[in-house]
Structure 1
Amino acid sequence: MNCIIVDDEPLAREAIELLVKDITYLSLTGTFNNAASAAGFMEEHTVDLIFLDIQMPGITGIDFAKKISKRTLIIFTTAYSEYALDSYEVDAIDYLIKPVEPERFRKATDKALSYHSLLLQEEKENIEPAADDYFFVKSDRKYFKVNFEDILFVEGLKDYVILQLEEQRIITRMNLKAMYELLPKSLFLRVNKSYVVNTARIEAFDNNDIFIKTHEIAIGNSYRDSFFEEFVMRKKRK
């Protein structure tokens, strides 16, 4: 699981980082001293688990947790036991009191791993692989056959993705990264944190936007180079 640490105290971050390094199934991808910086990182990277302090300047851990997708799990780390009740209101996996003992830390992360596995299994059940040119997508208790070429774009909305077709929108419970991994890369390209587009359906583009039918989709700053390299330059080479 990809994880990050968010805590305004340097020593506290270092202590959690040492504990993380002892857990083989955890991969630490970032440490942050405030929620705003962590939020910016999460817009561009997949984060499965956050070790989150509660009392921080600016946005508190509780307020930050309320804005996070439920697909990202939270383990609170704090010196104050009185916040325990608040942590349950945001469905935190666990609540650890500093200083955190290694055995207690592993118990919390094992619990997070189990829940993460359930989420992954749920996502897999919403997609039925079928062939090289289509798959079945579960939506509203039914499975819909979706041809890859019929998808205009895919939009990610927290815990769901929307497959936009010519005359239909199919909504299923899955995160955008997981959906993108299922789509053929020869046809689909991620262009910002919330959108994956079918490059064969692009009708026009400029330096900032892509136009598909009546839809205008922004090209994210961190995705612009890859868009022009993977789509524009690839077309020129053919």
Structure 2
Amino acid sequence: MAAINCIIIEDELPASVLLELHIAKFDFLDLKGKFTSVSSAQNILKSHKIDLIFLDINLPGKSGIEFAKSLLAETAVIFTTAYTEYAAEGFEIDAVDYILKPISLERFTKAINKYSKVRELNDMILYSKKQEKENPFIFVKCERKMVKLFLEEINYFEAQGNYLLIFTTEECYKTYQSITEMEDKLPEGLFCRIHRSFLVAINKITSYSTGSINIQNKQLPIGRFYHSSVSHILNSMSSAFRQY
């Protein structure tokens, strides 16, 4: 597991020392500092990326709960307190856990395991979003299952009756939805409707004429109602190429 930068904000020395001892038992927890108030921790929060804060609630000056509300989403909080009445409010602000003093190693370990699972889930979500941005995809229902199709692999869509054929670089998929529904789902600028039955990937067009376009060895007709919009897109592509 990657190192987790953490700090302790606790004004009671015995509790602070105990937390430090527990943290030392986990190799992946990197304690960056111990503080007795929110104000004294501000500098390290500005100079370091802190992943996790062990935060007391009853603190001099700003309370732990008030401080937690001001933190960025990527900084997680495990509340430590001697009072059970703050539990509900603590969880309302998405704290990872709420542990009561004196904190046993067993209870501390449980909180860390919980944080690790939350962190892993967040990392997976961030990775998925990054992948989607770098290599966008759609899920399409084909034969009772959802199939993931990367947009860069799709050549064109063809409507046939009440179903839609999706032609990719490798194979053809069949789904029961209209071509208009599919067009609405796709990001703008990547696909072009050339006919009431055909929606094509612009970057897969290999050649074209006034009445048709070619994608690899497949010739597709341009519908008369789509001539104007298709011509505009193809002329724009040509102009951009000439400028380059």
Which TM-score applies when normalising by structure 2? 0.52
Q: Is the aligned partner of 1:105 residue 2:103? A: no
> Separation in 2 of the partners of 1:22 and 1:52?
19
Counterpart in the other structure of 2:241: none
Tell me what 1:170 maps to. Answer: none
Contact 1:53 1:77 in 2 (8 A): yes
Q: 2:64 aligns with which of 40, 61, 71?
A: 61
Q: Verify: 1:30 aligned to 2:33, yes or no.
A: yes
CA shift for structure 1 position 37? 2.1
Aligned residues: 137
Specify which of 75, 79, 83 is matched with residue 80 of structure 1.
83
Structure 2: how far apart are the matches of 1:123 and 1:69? 16
Larger Cα-atom Rg: 2
What is the CA–CA distance in structure 1 between the aligned matches of 2:118 and 2:41, rounded to whole Å? 22
Unpaired runs of 5+ residues, structure 1, are 130-134, 144-238
Question: 1:117, CA displacement in angstroms?
Answer: 1.3
RMSD of aligned alpha carbons: 2.5
**Of 71, 74, 78, which aligns to 1:71?**
74
Higher relative contact order (CA 8 A, sep 6+): 1
* Equivalence map 1:99-178=2 (5 Å): 99-128=102-131, 136=134
Contact 1:71–1:119 (Cα < 8 Å) also in 2: no
Cα 1:8–1:127 shift into 2, 3 Å: same
Q: Deviations over 1:44-84 (max 9, x none)?
A: 21111110000001010000000011211111011111111
Shift of 1:137: 8.2
Q: Cα deviations across residues 3-25 of structure 1 (Å, max 9, x unaligned)?
A: 11001122211110001111222
AA aligned opposite 1:60: S
Deviations 1:164-185 (A, max 9, x none): xxxxxxxxxxxxxxxxxxxxxx
Give the share of equivalent positions with the same residue, in percent: 40
- Provide the C-alpha distance between the structure 1 equivalents of 2:129 and 2:102, rounded to a whole number of angstroms: 41
Paired with 1:18 and 1:73, the residues of 2 have a C-alpha distance of 20
Q: In 2, distance between residues paired with 1:104 and 1:73?
A: 17
Selected match of 1:42 from 32, 42, 45: 45
Q: Structure 1-normalised TM-score?
A: 0.53
